[in-house]
Amino acid sequence: MSDSLTPEPPLELIVFDEWPDAVRTLFDGSSLASKKGFTASLLTVDTNGHVRTSLLGVGELYAPDSRTLCIALWPQARAVRAMAQSGRAALTFVCDEAFYQVQLRVTPLMAVKGDDSGLAYLIGSIDTGEAQSVRYARLTGGITFELEGEGRAVLDRWERQIEHLKQAAAAAKR
């Protein structure tokens, strides 16, 4: 059979252990206002074996380098407890017309001096990541949201959170 008659595979799968450039830009902690509306799903498994989902925006995610991701969550979140017990999580999102699923190994980060946010900070290293796309359909978005009411206050809080994540990530590398 000639190559011209061989059908193209419907799924393009890219496996990675370092953030692709588009994702690194998404999680670089800059220009948060232009990235608002983006949502990632953080998936964890609790002690009962139930999968739990936390929805996160760009103000709660920061990639300090090509292999890690810092996460800011409220300490009472079920995800914090689940990650403390298992040390694992998965992050799913849509970026650059592809669906991403990233398996993370997660540990707590120390709080930063002067941070009175009350947030829990975690750092995850990429265990494995996958990006999936198909030629016949273009992903234009995943779960998205709009900031309402006090949107400026949320963006200001995100800016502070990202600064604290940057400081905590830098301290963890020392």
> Is residue 62 assigned to a domain?
yes
Query: Residue 155: inside a domain, yes or no?
Result: yes
Name the nearest CA neighbour of 163 among 59, 34, 8, 25: 59
Nearest alpha-carbon partner for 59 in 148, 139, 159: 159
pLDDT tens digits, one per residue of 89-145: 999 999 999 999 999 999 999 888 888 888 999 999 999 999 999 888 888 888 888
Tens digits of per-residue pLDDT, 50-78?
A: 999 999 999 999 999 999 999 999 999 99
- Determine, yes or no, domain membership for 1: no
Whole domain around residue 139: which residue ranges? Answer: 8-173
Q: Is residue 68 part of a domain?
A: yes
**Does residue 2 lie in a domain region?**
no
Residue 3 falls inside a structural domain: no
Structural domains of the chain, count: 1
CATH of the domain at 100: 2.30.110.10
- Alpha carbons 28 and 123: distance in angstroms, whole number: 14
Q: Provide the pLDDT confidence category of residue 7 given band limits of 50, 70 and 90.
A: low
Domain assignment present for residue 105? The answer is yes
